[in-house]
Amino acid sequence: MVQYDTRNWVRILLTVQGTVLPRIALRTLLVAVIGTLAWLITDRGDANLAIPSSVHTLVGLALGLLLVFRTNASYDRFWEGRRMMGALVNTSRDLARQLRSFLDASPPGTRAMHGELVVALYATTRRYLRNEREWPELAAQLGAERMAVLAATRCPPLVVARWLSDALVAEAAAGRLSEHRLAALDLSITKLIDFLGGAERIMKTPVPFAYAHHIKGFLTLFCLTAPLALLGSMQQYTPLASAIVAYAMFGIDEIGVEIEDPFGYDPNDLPLDAIGDTIATDVRELVS
């Protein structure tokens, strides 16, 4: 995720990294080229390519509403994903606190081992949300046998959660953990699985295809014909004016695409790696 000073508007304005400009530059240039050709043809008198702007204006109003709805829907997905990750951090910390306090009668190293499973639970969750099937950061903690089990599992976070539950049940069976405390720990694990399900829902439920197809077709038609609608009033400035219109419209749509799945590696996606470092540091400090 791009970090920036929200009050430094000059720096924000002049920064390209993290913007959608590189992704819409060719489309914007294409519209400017169409505007240039339309003006040259009309200026030479070969043909008058100008079209009435009234229909284009009415269509633009409808398109604007669609784009606003699209962007709002994408930001809702982004913010819900951030809430899920924040809840994962809080619950992981709380689970580590419970492990430290409740397993006071366990052999040395038991709490640290359980803490590593909490760290592994988030690590596998992060990789799962990114459709990744390798966990090099867990090899030293889990060992080859457990890594092989993860590789053969469709949803690795569930396996790690089961390992943690089995370990706590074993502590209870040995008389070192009361049933009441076991229930409290199990509730925290259940919450982590619930947050995984919420994030998975965002990852696996894109914006409906019919809506995405319609808005992109509508947007492309609007922007490609914008030079013709502007030709009568803008004359030689048609390429610049149409490029500005295309930049605005294509940019709004591309922002929605950028943030609708917040778990990847795009510049505006959630900082899942940094969140994982925070969880690992806090959990290991609590259970040590």
Q: Is the pTM of this model over 0.85?
A: yes
Segment 242-261 shows an average pLDDT of 92
Q: What is the DSSP string of 183-195?
A: HHHHHHHHHHHHH
Give the pLDDT confidence score for residue 120 in this predicted structure.
96
Sign of the CA dihedral with 105 first, then 108, 111, and 114 last: negative
87-126 pLDDT, tens digit each:
999 999 999 999 999 988 888 888 999 999 999 999 999 9
171-210 pLDDT, tens digit each:
999 999 899 999 999 999 999 999 999 999 999 998 888 8
Residue 1 binned pLDDT confidence (cut-offs 50, 70, 90):
confident
Segment 130-146 shows an average pLDDT of 92
Q: How many CB atoms lie within 10 A of CB 210?
A: 8
Tell me: pLDDT of 77 over 90: yes
Contacts of 252 (CB under 8 A, 6+ apart): 67, 68, 70, 71
Give the pLDDT confidence score for residue 89 in this predicted structure.
96
Tell me: pLDDT of 4 over 80: no
Give the pLDDT confidence score for residue 275 in this predicted structure.
95
At 176, which amino acid appears?
R
Instruction: Give the DSSP letter of residue 266.
Output: S
Q: Give the separation between CA 203 and CA 191, rounded to whole angstroms.
A: 19
Element (H, E) at 276: helix 272-287
Domain range list for the chain: 31-77+208-259, 80-205+271-287
Average pLDDT along the chain:
91
Give the pLDDT confidence score for residue 6 in this predicted structure.
79
Element (H, E) at 164: helix 156-173
Residue by residue, what is the 3-state secondary structure of 83-140?
HHHHHHHHHHHHHHHHHHHHCCCCCCCHHHHHHHHHHHHHHHHHHHHCCCCCCHHHHH
Higher pLDDT, 163 or 55: 163
149-170 pLDDT, tens digit each:
999 999 999 999 999 999 999 9
Long-range contacts of 168-177 (CB under 8 A, 24+ apart): 168/114, 171/103, 171/106, 171/110, 176/103, 176/105, 176/106, 177/102, 177/103, 177/105, 177/106
**Residue 162 — φ and ψ, nearest 5°?**
-65, -40
Give how far the C-alpha of residue 13 lies from the chain's centroid of Cα atoms, to the nearest Å: 23
Question: pLDDT above 90 covers what percent of the chain?
Answer: 64
